[in-house]
Amino acid sequence: MSKEEKKVNRRDFLFTASYTIGAVGLGAVVWPLVHQMNPDKAQQALATTEVDVSQVEPGNSITVLWRGKPVFLKRRTQEEIAEARAVSMSDLPDPQKDEDRVKDGKDEWLVMLGVCTHLGCVPLKDKGDYNGWFCPCHGSHYDVSGRIRKGPAPTNMEVPKYEFVDNNTIKIG
Amino acid sequence: MSDHDYTPKSKAGKWFNDRLPLLTLGAHLTDYPTPKNLNYWWTFGGILTFCLLTQIITGIVLAMHYVAHADLAFASVEHIMRDVNYGWLIRYIHSNGASMFFLAVYIHIFRSLFYGSYKSPREVIWIIGLLIYLLMMAAAFMGYVLPWGQMSFWGATVITNLFSAIPLVGESITTWLWGAYSVDNPTLNRFFSLHYLIPFLILGLVVLHIWALHVPGNNNPVGIDIKKPSKDTVPFHPYITIKDTFALLMFMIVFAGFVFFSPNVLGHSDNYIPANPLVTPAHIVPEWYLLPFYAILRSVPDKLGGVILMFGAIFILFVLPWLDTSKVRSAVFRPIYRQFYWIFVLDVLMLGYMGAMPAEGIYLVLARVGTIYYFAHFIIVMPVVGLLEKTDPIPMSISEPVLTGGADPALARKDNEKI
Amino acid sequence: MKRFNIKSLLFIITFLLASSAKLHSAGESTEPLKVDWSFKGVTGKFDRASLQRGFQVYKEVCSSCHSMQYLSYRNLGEPGGPEFSEQEVKAIAASVEITDGPDDQGEMFTRPGRPADKFKNPYPNVKASIAANGGAYPPDMSVLVKARPGGSNYIYSVLVGYEDPPAGVTLDDGVYYNKYMIGNKIKMSSPLSDDIVEYSDGTQATVDQMAKDVTTFLSWAAEPELEERHRTGVKVIIYLILLTTLVYLSMKKIWSRVDTEV
């Protein structure tokens, strides 16, 4: 390699290194500007919600607000449970057993986010073709287990993390 | 930009450029012939552009989290500092960025004063620059009100009360500014709105400022007109871009030093006390960059007189190009003016210091002397020195320092390097 | 030559002004004591044990009058702070009765605190706090350290600065003499006395120790981002120096094509 070539190489290296390191820095600056729009620490720490369900009769349901979204808590009758469990998996667009959507031994309680999985509207209860919920926005039908049966929604209504503190209290989150 | 014959190489580029000549503009900016002897004081234009963009970007982010309500503003700032992801970083960049912005603009202005960049044919650049400076002060003042601390509240009260000095309509104007009978929630809300608006006005003026600059081209340390392009010039890219980048990075090191290691040193601790309309802090002081004007305001024992003098201190700068009678631009070749220039710098620094001290005793006396000298510099020194001074010989060009007089050519060059 | 005289004069005067500005800010009261805090300096960090002890002092002594409304219990477990364990944070929060509501009947009710709750305010509002404290407002302590010139040193000095008034100074009822307080008069009686709290880590609870611990805690409360800020700052400055060097060398290379020095 001649002297001239070496010189050129060193110059190229300098410029490449400057550009590369400069670009890395720019990237590092962009991240805080993007990340600031994600949920902040107060949002992330949002409290869990405890619900007293002692007043809910079988067949009825209540709605509570959790993380800014409605949560349906339905106390199902034995007939409704039987109906939900009799459905064949092949009839479901998003196959899931009813047993997997409730807590063992507490199968009369269905707890799920009351948000249609299509575009986020709140479905109406005791409506639709499957004795469950019906979303008025774009016509999605859910069954008594909150599973999608007909319409544009792709998946079943989501079951959030929850637990029974005692027989009458459900803690969501 | 009509001086530029540029044809894009690609077909698509040509098609687009015929319809909107953005590529011609880009080529103009890249090739723009710049004097090759610009020193580091000339890098502050680029630094100021960086400051403006930093303030706009961080400001937009802060506005996503800030609440402009008297009951919630202070808490929302604490929310930004504590909970928002990187909120502390973004807010400290914004609050210290204001100070860095003013630091850079003062260097930029004093560079112009030293090298006579305000003189013909660059008067319009100078005046647009002053308009930008005025808007910067307005934006900085209103921004300082937003956290709704004690200094915010009382600073707003004092500054808006300046307008009550206007005879007859003063009181009505003040009430109109407030939207209430004192600085209150409506005031905070409108200040937020205007604080968001002003930076974009500044951005527009910056475009005009640069446009006006590109008509006659840059002044330079020697202050002589140069042929462009010639042996005296270099293309803006890469020569000036790389130099500006280097200076900007040095500036950013200082900036980062403040943001990460003493983010509150330039602010006032009273502004971490929530606004209280019943208690005024013992010493109300504006941010450091407004102190010289504050000193001028307080040095006059008359309310209206003080306000007039304070605004006069800024507006006299607008007629500066016509107060300076010297035919020579750069102070490098003006031995007498050069002395007065440094005395003036000293005077402004002293006024700044007096602005931070209580307006009593020796401080008040010195503030008055400083105020008188400030105006004397423009009204007496500039015209008189310009007429009487015997200037040093000036080189014919940057590359070939052939002098108009018989002095040693090396002298001019040496002088140049020292500045 | 003359020009340089004026220039150097300029620097001297600026320097004198700057140093006299420092003197002036001292004002009437005594200059605060200087403590060698672990969190000062470029790589400063909080002393974890001191933060935990300081929280104990705040909880057992200060919190009966002083609110800290911008802090949440969860902050006590966050990195860069006292870093209590998740269990400890839950226990601390649960030991406080928080008013919540309204419930479905429209009534307010109380429940044990949760980590997401803000620190409980000892008074329902500012006026109540003034009324309960003989007309003096016990300031909120969330950003107190940032709200006082002198910061941590000042808070510490006031805590240890109670003494008998010098001859000739008369004090009204409920007013105390403090060497470091601005104006020397304070409406809070000396809050600390030896062994007023019992530290679980065996540290002797002297007034000086407690004052240091609680000041450390308050310094963190005012600047919970401090450790992350210092850490990020060191990285940013190193990065900038590296990039500046590269750009400087590139600039030298580019400008070597013309005869002007840069």
Residue-wise pLDDT for C71-117, tens only, equals: 999 999 999 999 999 999 999 999 999 998 888 789 999 999 999 99
Chain C residue numbers touching B81 (CB-CB < 8 A) = 225
State the smallest CA–CA distance between residue C115 and chain B in angstroms: 14
- In chain B, the residue whose alpha carbon lies closest to the alpha carbon of A40 is B84
The reply to whether residue A21 touches residue C243, judged by beta carbons under 8 angstroms, is yes
Interface check B375 vs C, CB under 8 A: no
Rounded to a whole number of angstroms, the CA Rg of chain A reads 26
- In chain A, the residue whose alpha carbon lies closest to the alpha carbon of C238 is A25
B249 → closest Cβ in C24, C225, C244: C244
State the smallest CA–CA distance between residue B166 and chain C in angstroms: 34
A18 → closest Cβ in C115, C117, C247: C247
User: What pLDDT sits at residue C88?
Assistant: 96
**Token digits of residue B209:** 């400022």
Stretch C27-56: mean pLDDT, rounded? Answer: 92
Domain extents for chain C?
38-71+118-224, 225-262
State the smallest CA–CA distance between residue A38 and chain B in angstroms: 7
**Token digits of residue B241:** 């871009």
Instruction: Look at phi and psi of residue B233 and say left if phi exceeds 0, alpha if psi is from -120 to 50, else beta.
Output: beta
Question: Quick one: angle between helices B185-214 and B44-63, nearest 10?
Answer: 150
Q: Indicate if the alpha-carbon torsion angle A81, A86, A91, A96 is positive or negative.
A: positive
**Token digits of residue B370:** 């400083």
Chain B contacts to A (CB-CB under 8 A): 57, 61, 64-65, 79, 82-87, 89-90
- In chain C, the residue whose alpha carbon lies closest to the alpha carbon of B259 is C233
| CA separation for the pair C218, C211 (Å, rounded) | 10
pTM, entire model: 0.91
The reply to whether residue C247 touches residue A15, judged by beta carbons under 8 angstroms, is no
Chain A with chain C: Cβ pairs closer than 8 A: 33
Interface check A37 vs B, CB under 8 A: yes
The reply to whether residue B79 touches residue A42, judged by beta carbons under 8 angstroms, is yes
A36 → closest Cβ in B79, B82, B90: B90
The reply to whether residue A41 touches residue B83, judged by beta carbons under 8 angstroms, is yes
Q: Which residues pair with B34 in a beta bridge?
A: B234
Contact between B228 and B213 (Cβ < 8 Å): no
Interface test with B, best of A11, A14, A40, A46 (most B CBs within 10 A): A40
Burial class (CB in 10 A: 0-12, 13-18, 19+), B376: middle
The reply to whether residue A18 touches residue C250, judged by beta carbons under 8 angstroms, is yes
**Residue C176 host element (H or E):** strand C176-177
The reply to whether residue B249 touches residue C7, judged by beta carbons under 8 angstroms, is no
Chain A residue numbers touching C117 (CB-CB < 8 A) = 47
| CA separation for the pair C174, C71 (Å, rounded) | 30
> Which of A85, A48, A56 has the alpha carbon at shortest distance from A73?
A56
- In chain C, the residue whose alpha carbon lies closest to the alpha carbon of B244 is C251
User: What pLDDT sits at residue C6?
Assistant: 60
Chain B residue numbers touching A35 (CB-CB < 8 A) = 85-86
Please, which chains are in contact with B (at least 3 CB pairs closer than 8 A)? Answer: A, C
Cis peptide bond prior to B199, omega within 30° of 0: no
Interface check B365 vs C, CB under 8 A: no
Rounded to a whole number of angstroms, the CA Rg of chain B reads 24
The 10 Å Cβ neighbour count of residue B215 is 11
Residue A172 half-sphere exposure toward CB, CA atoms < 13 A: 25
The mean pLDDT of chain C is 90
A138 is catalytic: yes
Interface check A12 vs B, CB under 8 A: no
Q: Which residues contact B178 (CB under 8 A, 6 or more apart)?
A: B160, B184, B186, B187
Interface check B230 vs C, CB under 8 A: no
Q: How far is CA C52 from CA A45, C79, C159, C212, C217, in A?
A: 22, 13, 18, 12, 8
C237 → closest Cβ in B89, B256, B346: B256
User: What pLDDT sits at residue B413?
Assistant: 45
* Residue B291, helix vs strand vs coil: helix
Please, which chains are in contact with A (at least 3 CB pairs closer than 8 A)? Answer: B, C
Q: Which residues of chain A have pLDDT under 70?
A: 1-11, 47
Catalytic residue among A35, A118, A138, A141: A138
State the smallest CA–CA distance between residue A24 and chain B in angstroms: 15
* In the predicted structure, residue C127 carries a pLDDT above the cut 80: yes
User: What pLDDT sits at residue A52?
Assistant: 87
- Local mean pLDDT, 10-residue blocks, chain B (419 residues): 74 95 95 95 98 98 98 98 98 98 98 97 98 98 98 96 94 96 97 98 98 96 89 94 98 98 95 96 92 96 95 97 96 96 97 93 96 98 96 86 48 45
The reply to whether residue C14 touches residue B88, judged by beta carbons under 8 angstroms, is no
| CA separation for the pair C217, C37 (Å, rounded) | 12
Q: Which CATH code, of 3.40.50.720, 3.50.50.60, 1.10.357.10, 1.10.760.10, is assigned to C38-71+118-224?
A: 1.10.760.10
* Largest CA-CA distance found in chain B, in angstroms, rounded: 74
* Residue B359, helix vs strand vs coil: coil
Tell me B377's DSSP state: I
pLDDT in tens, C154-213: 999 999 999 999 988 888 888 999 999 988 999 999 999 999 999 999 999 999 999 999
